[in-house]
């Protein structure tokens, strides 16, 4: 039996997780909703974006919490610069006591658009190539391929300093007068970092820089620093409504 877990803010990793889950007759499960139960499966696949040449905080927290004897695969989606993220992922899983077999990478569209702009033609070319690249990854997972990452560099591992950096980035998010208080950002934030207080959207101090609120606000009302009009992105290969079941909160 297979289980497929994912973290995703703009749909790229959800796309990969959905493709894998469909091929392995499983359902994509959101890592934030994992409650620490024993995962009785033969194979577990974790799909996640790369953040700063390493893993996002919610993925690291999930890996450290995951209880399973299964063979584990990690699929990284990324925008163009891995710099050893495969090793970071592999050894994060190994140090958490998981039976990690391999880490795959899928080039997708860069969603760190608060600082970087990706040309539209490059984006459409990348998306066109994604299905065939996924076919190759699925084929390797199906035949239980096992290998250590060959990259020379070791990517960034999780640390308190790393978390602090994302919190600092989150402190630069703000909401413009275009906000219609629909509450979507509150419901999709993976860390419960957004709330409505006295009729206004406010950010707390637990941002993990996923940029989900920034990209998916229907009014583009969430801004970063002084950069007012950067590209907003959501993966066109998936339906946003399918992606994230409501987050379980205590
Ligand atoms: C905070 C942040 C940091 C990122 N760092 C990297 C990086 O180091 N290298 C890279 O290639 N892409 C980086 N990206 C881009 C994402 O990895 C990429 O767009 C990914 O496919 C997004 O997945 P999602 O749509 O499932 O959220 C970063 C994105 C964010 C939001
Ligand atoms: S998603 Fe956008 S419009 Fe809706 S409450 Fe959040 S900031 Fe306001
Ligand atoms: S505040 Fe926005 S960027 Fe920060 S974790 Fe929540 S959804 Fe992601």
Does 111 sit in the ligand 3 pocket, CB within 6 Å?
no
- Given a cut of 80, whether residue 135 has pLDDT beyond it is yes
The first and second tokens of residue 35, run together, are 């409650």
Task: Read off φ and ψ for residue 85, nearest 5 degrees.
Answer: -60, -30
Query: Average pLDDT in the 151-163 region?
Result: 76
Give the number of whichever ligand sits closest to the CA of residue 223.
2
Query: Average pLDDT in the 92-113 region?
Result: 96
Does 201 sit in the ligand 2 pocket, CB within 6 Å?
yes
Give the number of whichever ligand sits closest to the CA of residue 31.
1
Dump the DSSP string for 67-78. Answer: EE-SEEEEEEEE
- Given a cut of 50, whether residue 140 has pLDDT beyond it is yes
Architecture field, domain 160-224: 2-Layer Sandwich (3.30)
Query: Average pLDDT in the 168-174 region?
Result: 94
**How far, in Å, is the centroid of ligand 3 from the Cα of 149?**
30
pLDDT, position 128:
97
- Given a cut of 50, whether residue 250 has pLDDT beyond it is no
Prediction pTM value: 0.96
The mean pLDDT value of the chain amounts to: 93
Pick the atom of ligand 2 nearest to 183's CA. Answer: 5
Residue 4 zone, left/alpha/beta (φ > 0; ψ -120 to 50; rest): beta
- Pocket perturbation via mutation, ligand 2, pick of 176, 183, 184 by most ligand atoms within 8 A of CB: 184
Do residues 60 and 88 touch, judged by C-beta distance below 8 A? no
Q: Whose CA is nearest to atom 3 of ligand 3?
A: 211
pLDDT, position 249:
45
At 122, the pLDDT band (50, 70, 90 cuts) reads confident
Query: Tens digits of per-residue pLDDT, 10-39?
Result: 999 999 999 999 999 999 999 999 999 999
Helix (H, G, I), strand (E, B) or coil at 10: coil
Looking at the domain that runs over 2-157, which CATH code has it been given? 3.40.50.360
- Given a cut of 80, whether residue 117 has pLDDT beyond it is no
- Given a cut of 90, whether residue 47 has pLDDT beyond it is yes
Domain positions in the chain: 2-157, 160-224
Query: Tens digits of per-residue pLDDT, 52-101?
Result: 999 999 999 999 999 999 999 999 999 999 999 999 999 999 999 999 99
Q: Which helix (H) or strand (E) holds 164?
A: helix 160-170
């Amino acid at each position: 039996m297979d289980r497929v877990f994912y973290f995703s803010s703009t749909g790229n990793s959800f796309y990969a997780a959905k493709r894998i889950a469909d091929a392995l007759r499983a359902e994509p499960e959101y890592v934030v909703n994992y409650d620490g139960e024993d995962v009785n499966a033969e194979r577990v696949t974790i799909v996640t974006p790369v953040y700063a040449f390493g893993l996002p905080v919610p993925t690291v927290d999930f890996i450290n919490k995951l209880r399973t004897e299964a063979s584990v695969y990690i699929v990284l989606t990324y925008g163009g610069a891995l710099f050893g993220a495969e090793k970071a992922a592999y050894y994060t899983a190994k140090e958490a006591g998981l039976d990690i077999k391999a880490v795959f990478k899928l080039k997708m569209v860069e969603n760190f658009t608060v600082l970087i702009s990706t040309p539209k033609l490059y984006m459409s070319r990348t998306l066109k190539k994604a299905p065939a690249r996924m076919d190759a990854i699925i084929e390797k997972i199906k035949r239980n391929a096992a290998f250590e990452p060959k990259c020379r560099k070791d990517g960034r591992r999780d640390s308190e300093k790393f978390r602090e950096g994302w919190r600092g980035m989150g402190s630069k998010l703000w909401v413009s007068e275009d906000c219609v208080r629909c509450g979507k950002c509150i419901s999709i934030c993976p860390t419960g970092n957004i709330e409505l207080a006295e009729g206004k959207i406010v950010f707390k101090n637990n941002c993990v820089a996923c940029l989900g609120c920034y990209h998916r606000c229907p009014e583009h009302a969430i801004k970063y620093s002084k950069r007012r009009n950067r590209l907003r992105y959501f993966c066109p290969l998936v339906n946003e409504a399918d992606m994230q079941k409501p987050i379980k909160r205590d």
